[in-house]
């Protein structure tokens, strides 16, 4: 008799963020791999203290409809830190939040959780990029997740690195922006917000960084005919491209005839995150799966390094 065993495979989707600690003055250096490890070690300790003191419910953030979200576990590896966020609903039964053990006795003083979801995260300490598993719709939308992560990390960063500023930025999908630039006949509004990076930037970004500009906002509006030419100057394309990795880009544009014939569209990089997906099978442990995901994270980031069409960056 031949028995066929179906091995369940799960596709995990990850959203990517750039976490930067930027020196406030030229006299201070970048924190490096060790600094980013210290930041997440402090995050781990703060979470552990909340668990030991049985105040995780207060430590985790309310994300609406009696649901809560926050960090749950941390592990260190060579060059990266990984762990899990959790999302759950409050209840008077099911599992104890602090121990994750079943509650067999209901009562007003017992706080339990239900509808528990786990989301893996991977923080690459070398390049300071964070990948977080979406787990369906369990991971809060970007407009909520960045403020939550800022609330956790900013006090720790100020304590550990008072001469640096913390910035958390969503990495946008390069291909979505390429599609907009190729299909736009003209623009009605251009808005770019940038936080300049550690290390070497590209072209116009590097020049602005050398001028010690840490943040930049650019807003472009049309003349009397209500349209900005789609032949944008190279420095503006550099800034728009920079918004993929280092900020946010919003474009209002009119499509070419072959792409809708003058329809007005809006592109917002905050709603177009860069993602990568990885297949997980039954043989994977969390640690082995994460180890395989680290290279995928670095490859996904590498894909946005090469120049966009029309950019002055020749790579």
What is the spatial distance between Cα 192 and Cα 171, in angstroms, rounded to a whole number? 14
Q: What are the distances in angstroms from CA 196 to CA 54, 171, 209, 289?
A: 40, 14, 6, 32
Report residue 283 CA to chain centroid gap.
Answer: 28
At 250-304, the pLDDT tens digits run 999 999 876 556 788 999 999 999 999 999 888 899 999 999 999 999 998 887 6
Q: Does the pLDDT value for residue 6 go beyond 70?
A: no
Write out the two tokens for 163: 């001469």
What is the spatial distance between Cα 170 and Cα 166, in angstroms, rounded to a whole number? 14
Nearest to 81 by CA among 127, 144, 30, 140: 127
The mean pLDDT value for 220-229 works out to 82
What is the spatial distance between Cα 51 and Cα 240, in angstroms, rounded to a whole number? 43
pLDDT at 311: 46
pLDDT at 309: 45
Of 89 and 167, the structure prediction assigns the larger pLDDT to: 167
pLDDT at 98: 64
């Amino acid at each position: 008799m031949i028995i066929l065993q179906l091995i369940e495979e799960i596709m995990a989707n990850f959203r990517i963020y750039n976490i930067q600690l930027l020196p406030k003055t030229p006299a201070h250096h970048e924190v490096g791999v060790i600094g980013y490890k210290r930041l997440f070690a402090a995050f781990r300790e703060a979470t552990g203290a909340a668990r030991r003191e049985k105040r995780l419910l207060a430590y985790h953030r309310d994300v609406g409809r009696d649901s809560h979200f926050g960090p749950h576990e941390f592990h260190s590896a060579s060059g990266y830190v990984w762990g899990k966020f959790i999302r759950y609903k409050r209840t008077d039964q099911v599992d104890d939040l602090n121990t994750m053990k079943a509650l067999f006795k209901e009562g007003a003083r017992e706080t339990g959780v239900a509808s528990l979801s786990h989301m893996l995260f991977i923080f690459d300490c070398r390049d300071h990029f964070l990948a977080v598993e979406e787990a369906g719709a369990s991971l809060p939308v970007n407009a909520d997740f960045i403020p939550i992560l800022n609330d956790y990390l900013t006090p720790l960063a100020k304590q550990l690195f008072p001469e640096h500023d913390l910035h958390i930025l969503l990495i946008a999908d390069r291909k979505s922006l390429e599609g907009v630039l190729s299909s736009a006949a003209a623009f009605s509004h251009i808005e770019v917000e940038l936080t300049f990076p550690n290390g070497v930037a590209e072209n116009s970004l590097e020049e602005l960084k050398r001028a010690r500009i840490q943040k930049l906002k650019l807003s472009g509006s049309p003349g009397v005919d209500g349209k900005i030419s789609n032949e944008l100057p190279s420095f503006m394309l550099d800034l728009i491209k920079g918004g993929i990795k280092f900020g946010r880009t919003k474009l209002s544009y009119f499509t070419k005839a072959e792409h809708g014939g003058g329809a007005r569209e809006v592109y917002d990089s905050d709603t177009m995150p860069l993602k990568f997906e990885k297949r997980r099978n039954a043989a994977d442990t969390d640690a082995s799966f994460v180890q395989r995901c680290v290279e995928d994270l670095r490859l996904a980031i590498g894909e946005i390094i090469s120049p966009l069409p029309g950019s002055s960056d020749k790579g």
